[in-house]
Amino acid sequence: MDLSGKYYIDGKDLWTVFNMFVEEGTDDFLRYPAKKDSITHDWQDSNGIDVDLTRVFFTERSITLRLGMIVSNEADFWSKYNQFLMQMALPGLRRIEPKSLGERSFYCFYKECTDFMWVTRIKNVNKIGIKFTLNMVEPNPEIANDTVFIVDEDGRFLVT
């Protein structure tokens, strides 16, 4: 089984370097972040509120990945387990590249590991496996805005 080339962390292939794979959670990178509250003012002499929507900002985005690791022996497990932990604990943000989403990179930091399951043997194969859930935070979600629309003075889209 070759799972290389599917996920990268800081340019390191998750499978090749750590014998890990992402089981689920890639969709979290596509989930829209929540919008921050806009600046508002409640004028006493008019109905409702005045909302400034000239610029929209978003909150951080939570990313939850379900990961697995398969190794041949206990020594290999401890080596790769510790390597991965040290990679996630490095200062700064981690660059995550799920190749199923094209050439996009997401910059996250490690928050916590919420569950962990040790599998001693995998289906009559002499392997050791684990599954765990990794929670990360993307503090500044990048919203791609590379599409340009032409509109008239009334805000109507012009079709060419």
In DSSP notation, the chain reads ---TTSEEETTEEHHHHH-EEEEE-GGGGTSPPPBPPPPEE--TTSSS-EE--SS--B--EEEEEEEEEEESSHHHHHHHHHHHHHHHTSSS-EEEEEGGG-S--EEEEEEEEEEEEEES-BTTBS-EEEEEEEEEEESS----------B-TTSPBPP-
- Tell me the per-residue pLDDT of 106-118, one tens digit each, with 9 for 90 and over: 999 999 999 999 8
Query: Which class is domain 7-36+52-138?
Result: mainly beta
pLDDT band of 151, cuts 50, 70, 90? confident
Residue 154: what pLDDT? 78
- Tell me the per-residue pLDDT of 76-108, one tens digit each, with 9 for 90 and over: 999 999 999 999 999 999 999 999 999 999 999
Please report, for the chain, the start and end positions of each structural domain, with discontinuous segments joined by +: 7-36+52-138
